[in-house]
């Protein structure tokens, strides 16, 4: 099934006590039972046990950390996870009410029917493998390489923005994303992304250590178990060959660091270029099957993976590729097949990969699937019930104040030349900021949803989403297009659009509380707003101009200064080591750390300039920084934390909180002294924006 929401790299993080930024309100992996204590700003800092200058994360969150247990169906738990859980509960109740109401019609009825069909486990069990057998039969009918290439092309689906991805985890051989070209803002292009792996990253296949070796063994066992459940003979032998194929694919993939280097990913190929640069595949047939045959140009984000896959296909053992396709079909649709398949998928993806002991209950998975299929249809209903206009207006005012503060910081930069400053200010002034929900909603008029066909609904929704993405190829880029639905507990910066999205679901306690002080709100949601603004000026965002074009708008001297200062932040984060054998990767997490630093500074400036900030003094400053730290409260299981450190572009939450040690205001607010663990001498504090 489409994995676009598992890929999103956004502002705030669920597994973000070390993990992927962003807790999708509807991520199935994020539901809690039993419910853990929710994060609230009412929790008192653990000042009696920890000094803020020694461990600000523990100081601000000590009581919560001591009282909170990670729910059995989670690899982690956080302030964001708690908010997502509360939001999910309300949305599920809302959908169930719609389903029971006789007058429900239109998109609301489709939402209710999709959810109800997914919830009907008895019907799914009764159907057995019947819904997927036609797909398996098509795979079994592949007799030669030509048919294989057509099948691989037909399996292509739309995935997320690679500029906002920490995880290129798609089980299709390639993923496609549609957006304006990196250097051409006048038209949309199809981006081709690496994929084809059943584990999250090439490191899981290639790293030589005990932990990864164990996971590789368990993954091969998982492949065999899924094939055996579907009636394949010699499942162990087939699984071994499928794993070897994925291992070969992994060896062609770009690393995380390479994927985050936009300059290394800027490759525009014509259709003829594929034949010359990636021989071994009938690319005309591949793109025809993918419904992309009319495209003259492609943005090839991972050229090595494309060339490598072509090389493997040139010498393909068709029987192995058939088993590979069959396994990924079964694995991708496991939750819509008999319970044994869903349980087996969780055995590996949940227990082995993230250390999560218990699978989410069915309604949470049903909600995740419904949001995946009809995200904005659900969001439109959610906003109508739960996001008042006055909340939107107050957040918009905060956004304006923080943008103004960021702009003022640019004007004060002594190291920046006037020419560079003018370009930076142009970016700030032309930002599109979406608050709450899109200006224009998607239509789901063409999506056929049946109350008694959970499997078919998912397949049709996936195809419908791909159709929507392909339609973008026929129109000009739109800066106001949203990348997130309103019910997602998250936020995002979109470099190609020079735009920000702040969905309604994150604009509630503990991040935004209309009843709370300005100090707490600026520290929590204000820092997130500042973070997203600052992504326009991190090591990646700073490479794009006000029109979203990849363009060098820096003077040589300014760029050298920026890189040197960024290098100090890389070195700072390289020192954080959650395990004796595993440290945070300062380069991998640089973009997020830069955004945390500049965003917190801008939010603090905006608060200090507000009437409330001027009146509250040091007490307000302490509320500001404590509100920031409490927004990142997180606990993680070891397996989840290790996965996050290896694969996520965000540092674990504890270390994200430590960004405060670079702000002079934090030292003043908490009287932090030399000799305390987090203390940095003024000349050692990283100062960029």
pLDDT per position as a tens digit, 553-589: 999 999 999 999 999 999 999 999 999 999 999 999 9
Rounded to whole angstroms, the Cα distance separating 70 from 664 reads 34
The domain ranges of the chain are: 4-23+52-91+373-432+440-684, 126-354
pLDDT of residue 35: 28
* Cα gap 24→81, rounded to integer Å: 9
Q: Compute the average pLDDT of residues 178-200.
A: 94
88: tokens are: 């999910």
| Buried/exposed code over 532-565 (b: 16+ C-beta within 10 A; e: otherwise) | bbbbbbbbbbbbbbbbbbbeebbbeebeebbeeb
pLDDT at 157: 87
Residue 203 has a CB neighbour count (10 Å cut-off) of 17
- Residue 404, class by beta-carbon neighbours within 10 Å (0-12 exposed, 13-18 middle, 19+ buried)? middle
Is residue 78 packed enough to be buried (19+ CB in 10 Å), middle (13-18) or exposed (0-12)?
A: buried
Q: Is the pLDDT of residue 160 over 50?
A: yes
Q: Which helix (H) or strand (E) holds 176?
A: strand 174-180
Peptide bond between residue 510 and the one before it cis (omega within 30 degrees of 0): yes
Confidence of residue 170 (pLDDT cuts 50, 70, 90): low
Give dist(CA 60, CA 184) in Å, integer. 46
CA separation for the pair 498, 428 (Å, rounded): 9
Q: Give the count of beta carbons closer than 10 Å to the beta carbon of residue 176.
A: 22
Q: How far apart are CA 409 and CA 416, in angstroms?
A: 11
SS3 494: strand
The pLDDT tens digits of the residues spanning 31-88 come to: 222 222 233 334 455 544 899 999 999 999 999 999 999 999 999 999 999 999 999 9
Say if 4-23+52-91+373-432+440-684 and 126-354 have the same CATH topology: no
Global confidence as pTM: 0.88
Please give the full DSSP string across 622-688, using - where no structure is assigned: HHHHHHHHHTT-EEE-HHHHHHHHHH-SS--HHHHHGGGGG-HHHHHHHT--TTSTT---GGGS---
**CATH homologous superfamily of 4-23+52-91+373-432+440-684:** Collagenase (Catalytic Domain) (3.40.390.10)
Tokens in use for 682?
């003024």
CATH number for the region 126-354 comes to 1.10.1380.10
| pLDDT at 165 (0 to 100) | 46
- Within 10 angstroms of residue 664's Cβ, the number of other Cβ atoms is 12
Q: What is the 3 state secondary structure string of 406-423?
A: HHHHHHCCCCCCHHHHHH
365 — phi, psi (to 5°)? Answer: -70, -35
Q: Is the predicted pLDDT of residue 20 greater than 80, yes or no?
A: no
């Amino acid at each position: 099934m489409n994995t676009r929401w598992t890929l999103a790299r956004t502002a705030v993080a669920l597994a973000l006590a070390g993990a992927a930024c962003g807790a999708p309100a509807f991520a199935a992996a994020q539901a809690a039972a039993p419910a853990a204590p929710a994060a609230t700003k009412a929790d008192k800092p653990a000042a009696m046990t920890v000094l803020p200058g020694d461990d600000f994360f523990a100081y601000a969150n000590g009581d919560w950390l001591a009282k909170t247990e990670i729910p059995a169906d989670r690899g982690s738990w956080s302030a964001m996870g708690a908010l997502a859980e509360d939001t999910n509960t309300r949305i599920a109740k809302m959908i169930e009410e719609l389903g029971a109401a006789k007058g429900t019609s239109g998109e609301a009825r489709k939402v209710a029917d999709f959810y109800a069909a997914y919830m009907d486990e008895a019907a799914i069990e009764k159907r057995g493998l019947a819904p997927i057998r036609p797909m398996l039969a098509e795979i079994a009918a592949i007799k030669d390489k030509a048919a294989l290439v057509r099948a691989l092309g037909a399996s292509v689906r739309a995935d997320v923005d690679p500029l906002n991805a920490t995880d290129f985890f798609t089980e299709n051989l390639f993923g496609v994303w549609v957006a304006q070209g990196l250097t051409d803002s006048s038209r949309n292009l199809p981006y081709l992304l690496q994929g084809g792996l059943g584990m999250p990253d090439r490191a899981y296949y290639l790293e030589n250590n005990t932990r990864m070796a164990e996971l590789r063994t368990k993954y091969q066992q998982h492949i065999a178990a899924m094939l055996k459940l579907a009636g394949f003979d010699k499942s162990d032998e087939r699984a071994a060959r499928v794993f070897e194929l994925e291992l070969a694919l992994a060896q062609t993939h770009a690393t995380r660091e390479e994927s985050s280097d936009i300059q290394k990913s800027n490759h525009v190929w014509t259709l003829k270029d594929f034949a010359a640069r990636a021989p071994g595949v009938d690319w005309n047939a591949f793109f025809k099957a993918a419904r992309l045959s009319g495209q003259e140009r492609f943005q090839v984000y991972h050229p090595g993976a494309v060339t490598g896959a072509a090389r493997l296909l040139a010498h393909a053992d068709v029987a192995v590729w058939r088993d590979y396709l069959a396994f990924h079909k079964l694995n991708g649709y496991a939750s819509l097949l008999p319970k044994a398949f869903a349980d087996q998928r969780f055995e590996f993806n949940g227990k082995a990969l993230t250390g999560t002991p218990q699978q989410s209950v069915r309604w949470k998975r049903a909600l995740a699937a419904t949001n995946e299929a009809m995200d904005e249809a659900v969001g439109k209903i959610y906003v109508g019930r739960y996001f008042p206009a006055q909340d939107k207006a107050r957040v918009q005012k905060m956004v304006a104040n923080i943008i103004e503060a960021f702009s003022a910081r640019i004007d004060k930069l002594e190291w920046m030349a006037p020419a560079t400053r003018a370009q930076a200010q142009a970016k700030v002034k032309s930002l599109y900021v979406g608050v709450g929900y899109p200006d224009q909603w998607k239509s789901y008029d063409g999506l056929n949803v049946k109350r008694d066909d959970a499997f078919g609904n998912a397949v049709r929704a996936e195809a419908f989403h791909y159709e929507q993405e392909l339609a973008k190829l026929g129109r000009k880029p739109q800066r106001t297009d949203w990348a997130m639905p309103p019910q997602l507990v998250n936020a995002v910066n979109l470099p190609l659009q020079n735009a920000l999205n702040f969905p309604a679901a994150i604009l509630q306690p503990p991040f935004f509380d209309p009843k709370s002080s300005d100090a707490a709100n600026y520290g929590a949601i204000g820092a997130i707003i500042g973070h997203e603004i600052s992504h326009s000026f991190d090591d990646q965002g700073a490479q794009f101009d006000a029109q979203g074009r990849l363009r060098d708008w820096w003077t040589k001297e300014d760029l050298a200064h920026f890189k040197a200062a960024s290098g100090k932040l890389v070195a700072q984060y390289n020192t954080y080591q959650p395990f004796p054998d595993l440290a945070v990767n300062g380069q991998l997490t640089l973009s997020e750390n830069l955004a945390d630093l500049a965003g917190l500074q801008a939010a603090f400036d905006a608060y200090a300039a507000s009437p409330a900030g001027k009146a509250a003094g040091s007490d307000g400053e302490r509320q500001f920084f404590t509100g920031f730290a409490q927004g990142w409260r997180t606990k993680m299981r070891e397996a989840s934390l290790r996965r996050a450190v290896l694969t996520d572009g965000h540092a674990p939450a504890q270390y994200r909180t430590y960004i405060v040690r670079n702000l002079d205001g934090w030292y003043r607010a908490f009287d932090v002294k030399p000799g305390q663990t987090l203390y940095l001498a003024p000349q050692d504090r990283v100062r960029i924006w």
